[in-house]
């Protein structure tokens, strides 16, 4: 199987070479556990391997993500100029909606009272994905993260969007990676999210002896033999490292 390497030392070994092609992957875990860094590391690694990346910026603006990647010495400017990396800036659009409503009413608008146009998001993503498919480019789609959409939108609409995204991975022969914060949405949403995914990578953050420690495990992965053990995960400004000796307890 021609797998899609994440570029993260250790994780690709656990995945038998990388993520299976044409799959929808759920990246779940605690807040501040490292999910965003994983998404950015995978983005940078795949861009340098000749992949094309469609990045839905939901939890923060595309400009913030650019700045974060630059802090890791990952300059994505040339990839954007060459249309190898395309952002759909959902966060900034939500900010624009809030500002528009504030201008109309003269009052502060709560985020829970805004709504996103999922059809618009799908249309923009489809346009880029089809263009890459016609050019026979290898495509990866990043959704970081879906948590704000579950907070401000109808849950069924968000799950419907994710179902469409899953179909899109099959049609465009792409890999999709959608992140979700655990512990803030309720069991029903978390369960539905994980059932929709072809694979689940879980990241945890624990405080041990006064220090923050992070762990990663694969709890579900299509067409892959894997261990469900937790493995130590290290984060630095240069990226992610996963150790392949499992921890005995969590």
Mean pLDDT across the chain: 93
Of the pLDDT bands very low, low, confident and very high (cuts 50, 70, 90), residue 80 is very high
**What pLDDT is recorded for position 95?**
85
Dihedral sign from CA coordinates of 230, 234, 240, 241: negative
* Least confident piece of the model among 26-35, 100-109, 124-133: 100-109
Contact 19, 176 (CB under 8 A): no
* Architecture category of domain 21-212 in CATH: 3-Layer(aba) Sandwich (3.40)
Of residues 133 and 47, the one with the higher pLDDT is 47
In the predicted structure, residue 110 carries a pLDDT above the cut 70: no
**Which of 79-83, 98-102, 116-120, 245-249 has maximum average pLDDT?**
79-83
Residue 233's Cα: distance from chain center in Å?
17
Give the start-end residues of each E strand in 30-119: 52-57, 85-89
Contact 7, 45 (CB under 8 A): yes
C-alpha–C-alpha distance, residues 106 and 27, integer Å:
39
**What pLDDT is recorded for position 176?**
98
Percent of the chain with pLDDT over 90: 80
For range 33-39, the mean pLDDT:
97
Of residues 170 and 112, the one with the higher pLDDT is 170
- Calculate the CA dihedral of residues 40, 42, 48, 49 and round it to 10 degrees: -160
Spell out the domain ranges in the chain.
Answer: 21-212
C-alpha–C-alpha distance, residues 138 and 211, integer Å:
40
Helix (H) or strand (E) holding 97: helix 90-105
């Amino acid at each position: 199987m021609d797998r899609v390497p994440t570029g993260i030392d250790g994780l690709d070994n656990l995945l038998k070479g990388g993520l299976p092609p044409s799959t929808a992957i759920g990246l779940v875990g605690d807040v501040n556990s490292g999910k965003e860094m994983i998404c950015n590391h995978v983005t940078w690694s795949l861009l340098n391997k000749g992949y094309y990346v469609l990045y839905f910026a939901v939890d923060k603006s595309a400009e913030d993500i650019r700045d974060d990647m630059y802090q890791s010495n990952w300059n994505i400017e040339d990839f954007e100029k060459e249309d190898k990396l395309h952002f759909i800036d959902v966060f900034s659009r939500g900010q624009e909606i809030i500002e528009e409503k504030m201008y109309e009413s003269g009052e502060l608008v709560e985020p829970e009272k805004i709504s996103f146009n999922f059809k618009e998001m799908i249309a923009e993503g489809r346009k880029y994905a089809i263009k890459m498919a016609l050019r026979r480019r290898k495509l990866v789609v990043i959704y970081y993260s879906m948590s704000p959409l579950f907070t401000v939108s109808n849950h069924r609409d968000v799950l419907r969007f994710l179902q469409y995204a899953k179909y899109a991975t099959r049609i465009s022969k792409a890999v999709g990676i959608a992140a979700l914060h655990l512990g803030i949405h309720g069991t029903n949403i978390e369960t539905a999210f994980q059932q929709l995914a072809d694979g689940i990578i879980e990241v945890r953050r624990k405080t041990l002896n006064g220090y923050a420690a992070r762990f990663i495990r694969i709890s579900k992965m299509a067409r892959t033999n894997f261990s469900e053990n937790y493995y130590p995960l290290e984060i630095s400004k240069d990226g992610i490292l996963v150790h392949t000796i499992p921890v005995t307890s969590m």
